[in-house]
Structure 1
Amino acid sequence: MHYLACIFIMILNGCKNESNATTETSVKTQTVAETESENAIDPSVAGMWQDYIASNPKFEGQEIPESDFFHNNRADANRLAELTLNGKKKASSGLYSLYKYYQVALPKVGTKQIVTDFDGKAVAIIENKRVDTIPFNQISEDYAGLDMGTDVEPLEKWKKAHWDFFENFLKESGGEPNEEMLIVCVIFKTVWPAKH
């Protein structure tokens, strides 16, 4: 089930800051400790969030965002993380019916997420800028380019990759892909590291 969630949604692996902490230092220390021990996520996730907060103090006290990787295998997850880090990948696509099937809330504008490689090491922080639900057969060339991180035949590549991918997961839930299936289209911006 985890790899399904990794593909379509960034599942919450972060933790909440303790509200009873007496000092800023203890809050940061407890957050890192909680993150590492309770959720067994890579320490780089909490470290990246702390670096982001240090440069953006207005977000001090906010929860560590969800962290996860794109796709379901090492090669694709690492490739997509690199494209995100380089600012080439600026969108992600999920199957609306799977959000419903797994009773997971749709992504929201303004939500930040920590993108990791396949091993869970933090690579970048992204922020959702736009969320739309669009039928598969109405995905635009521009959107496909943002999702695929390329301008070389992006729509053809997007359709082939996503049709095959969604087909495999729909089989598990007893469905079949069709041209009208709804896609949750998230356009995001890489906000950390701050080189974009």
Structure 2
Amino acid sequence: MKHLSLILVLLLFSCKSDPKKEVLAEDGLDQSVYAIWNSYIQEHPEFKNDELPESWYFHNNKEDADRLAELTVSGKKQASSSLYSLYTIYEMDVPTVGTKRIITNFDGEAMAIIEIKSVAIVPFNEITADYAALDLGTTIEPLEKWKKAHWDFFEEFSKVSGVKPTENMLIFCEKFETIWTTK
């Protein structure tokens, strides 16, 4: 019986488990979120008493979320856009200058810490090519690409939110700086 117990223990330890379960904290956050924040505050102890920033990924699918996280890490993506009306609908606080966020890939792995440098509320049809380039991380036809990508995204989201996109819809525009990365 002793040998059977020993064999069972060895089998349990040799079996591979789901890696996501191993890295998730009790609150469901990937451990890398805590790790990136801890490495940041070790280098910047003036923030050691700050709460862990909110963590999230850009977009709603793996391909885009991972691509946008990489653009953030490289410093090419320096802005983010959202429907202003959603802050009211979901009773969320509007982010302010100085707010830090932890950007993850689609799987929740921390990639970068950003800090908001400016905020503005701009009608969709008044977004500039310069801002679009910061948001998309590209200078190749940024305004055309930004309008198409965001219109399509907001149109898809309207099925859930009931907020129909219009040329005058208000966009909450955040410019940010990537202040820390995992690379």
Q: What is the percentage of aligned positions where both structures have the same residue?
A: 59
Q: Say if 2:31 is the partner of 1:43.
A: yes
Task: State the alpha-carbon separation in 1 of the partners of residues 163 and 52 from structure 2.
Answer: 35
Post-superposition offset of 1:114: 0.3
Q: Say if 2:101 is the partner of 1:108.
A: no
Q: 1:98 pairs with 86, 92, 112, which one?
A: 86
Alpha-carbon displacement from aligned partner over 1:30-77 (angstroms, at most 9, x marks no partner): xxxxxx543111101100001000111111111110001000100000
8 A Cα contact 2:36 2:182, kept in partner: no
Q: Say if 2:141 is the partner of 1:153.
A: yes
Q: Say if 2:126 is the partner of 1:163.
A: no
* SS in structure 1 at match of 2:76: coil
Q: 1:136 pairs with 105, 118, 124, which one?
A: 124
Post-superposition offset of 1:139: 0.2
Q: In structure 1, what is the equivalent of residue 110 of structure 2?
A: 122
Q: Please say which of residues 98-107 and 177-186 is displaced more in the overlay.
A: 98-107
Task: State the alpha-carbon separation in 2 of the partners of residues 176 and 194 from structure 1.
Answer: 38
* SS in structure 1 at match of 2:97: coil
* SS in structure 1 at match of 2:176: strand
Task: State the alpha-carbon separation in 2 of the partners of residues 175 and 46 from structure 1.
Answer: 35
* SS in structure 1 at match of 2:131: helix
Q: Say if 2:164 is the partner of 1:176.
A: yes
Post-superposition offset of 1:174: 2.4
RMSD: 1.6
Task: State the alpha-carbon separation in 2 of the partners of residues 37 and 78 from structure 1.
Answer: 21
* SS in structure 2 at match of 1:38: coil
Q: Say if 2:63 is the partner of 1:75.
A: yes
- What is the TM-score of this pair, normalised by structure 1? 0.79
Q: In structure 1, what is the equivalent of residue 44 of structure 2?
A: 56
Task: State the alpha-carbon separation in 2 of the partners of residues 94 and 58 from structure 1.
Answer: 30
In structure 2, stretches of 5+ residues that fail to align are 1-23
Alpha-carbon displacement from aligned partner over 1:106-130 (angstroms, at most 9, x marks no partner): 1111000000001100000000000
Question: Which amino acid in the other structure matches residue 167 of structure 1?
Answer: E
Task: State the alpha-carbon separation in 1 of the partners of residues 135 and 49 from structure 2.
Answer: 31
- What is the TM-score of this pair, normalised by structure 2? 0.84
* SS in structure 1 at match of 2:164: coil
Task: State the alpha-carbon separation in 2 of the partners of residues 194 and 143 from structure 1.
Answer: 26
Task: State the alpha-carbon separation in 1 of the partners of residues 121 and 109 from structure 2.
Answer: 30
8 A Cα contact 2:110 2:182, kept in partner: no
Q: 1:189 pairs with 160, 165, 177, which one?
A: 177
8 A Cα contact 2:112 2:182, kept in partner: no
In structure 1, stretches of 5+ residues that fail to align are 1-35
Task: State the alpha-carbon separation in 1 of the partners of residues 72 and 30 from structure 2.
Answer: 19
Task: State the alpha-carbon separation in 2 of the partners of residues 63 and 180 from structure 1.
Answer: 36
